Amino acid sequence: ATPMSIMTATGRGAQAGVLIKDAQALERFAKVDTLIVDKTGTLTEGRPKLTDILTAEGTTEADLLGLAASLEQGSEHPLAEAIVEGAKERGATLLATTEFQAITGKGVAGLVDGRRIALGNQAMMVDLEVDVRILAKQADALRTEGKTAMYVAIGGIVAVADPIKATTKEAILALRESGLRIIMATGDNELTAKAVASKLGIDEVRAGVLPEDKKALIDQLHAGGAKVAMAGDGVNDAPALAAAEVGIAMGTGADVAVESAGITLVKGDLNGIVRARTLAQATIRNIK
């Protein structure tokens, strides 16, 4: 390996779209043995598209989609944007929502045109005591395809698909080959998470993880002696990014994620992690 100072390393990183905050981040990253990756927006593009609308008896597709999208107008979640966009493309009429509530990691609820609507995952429906048993099979079938299926509590399902970034597969392969233990952590459902993980050859998956649990996962790994890097993009990921030895933020993600991170991948290309690792190890060898 060529001798390399920290300044040279950070300079080379910057050229490749990898911003390294300081010498500490670089030194710590050379020693990391475990990488936790968020799914949505990190492994995937984070720009999901509406793919499926299923209705239970007594509800029309137009009604379901109109109500779901009206409600999601109040949310900034990428899933919400997909539903609103998809509904507009399909010519749905959006109505005003009152008493809007967003429940982190679960979904949204409110009053649309005087009707009480909730939209979200299984956990959300459990909280609201909505029985979704008749829809569960269809939801699971969509999840097995890697889609995110959400229940609409007037009787139906909306599903979105979030494509894996073109660069992710090769990056994950290289990181695995470099000996890193890779764990996917996501708030998404287990079936969806596993479908995405298996496409990428990731065999450790923690699904249904609430934002505070991502940090707890790091604490747990630390207790076992692991040195952990965490890659994420969301507001939700910031505490975990700060708790890890090295936080890696997507430059395409939330500002607080970038602020909490030691390394930022300007374009969100995970090959930047491979690059940073090579630079970090070359620098460490030079310092010793």
Nearest to 127 by CA among 144, 104, 146: 104
Q: Count the Cβ atoms, other than its own, within 10 Å of residue 169.
A: 15
Q: Does 188 bind Mg ion (CB under 5 A)?
A: no
Q: Does 13 bind Mg ion (CB under 5 A)?
A: no
Measured from the CB atom, is 162 or 245 closer to Mg ion? 162
Site of interaction with ligand ADP (CB under 6 A)? 38-40, 72, 75, 77, 79-80, 105-108, 119-121, 148, 150, 186-188, 234, 236
Concatenated DSSP letters of 163-210: PBPTTHHHHHHHHHHTT-EEEEE-SS-HHHHHHHHHHHT--EEE-S--
268 binds, among ligand ADP, Mg ion, none (CB under 5 to 8 A by kind): none
Q: What is residue 43's DSSP assignment?
A: I
Task: Give the β-pairing of 246-250 and 49-55.
Answer: unpaired
Which residue out of 22, 38, 63, 233 is catalytically annotated? 38
66 binds, among ligand ADP, Mg ion, none (CB under 5 to 8 A by kind): none
Nearest to 247 by CA among 29, 18, 44: 29
Measured from the CB atom, is 92 or 149 closer to Mg ion? 149
Stretch that binds Mg ion, among 41-49, 81-89, 145-153, 239-247 (CB under 5 A): 41-49
What is the rounded CA–CA span in Å between residue 152 and residue 107? Answer: 10
What is the rounded CA–CA span in Å between residue 236 and residue 104? Answer: 9
Measured from the CB atom, is 13 or 41 closer to Mg ion? 41
Residue nearest to ligand ADP (CB): 187
H-helix or E-strand spanning residue 88: helix 78-89
Q: Please say if 237 is a catalytic residue.
A: no
Q: Does 40 bind Mg ion (CB under 5 A)?
A: yes
Minimum distance between the CB of residue 156 and ligand ADP, rounded to whole angstroms? Answer: 13
Minimum distance between the CB of residue 154 and ligand ADP, rounded to whole angstroms? Answer: 14
Q: Which residues bind Mg ion (CB under 5 A)?
A: 38, 40-41, 233-234
Looking at the annotation, which residues are catalytic? 38
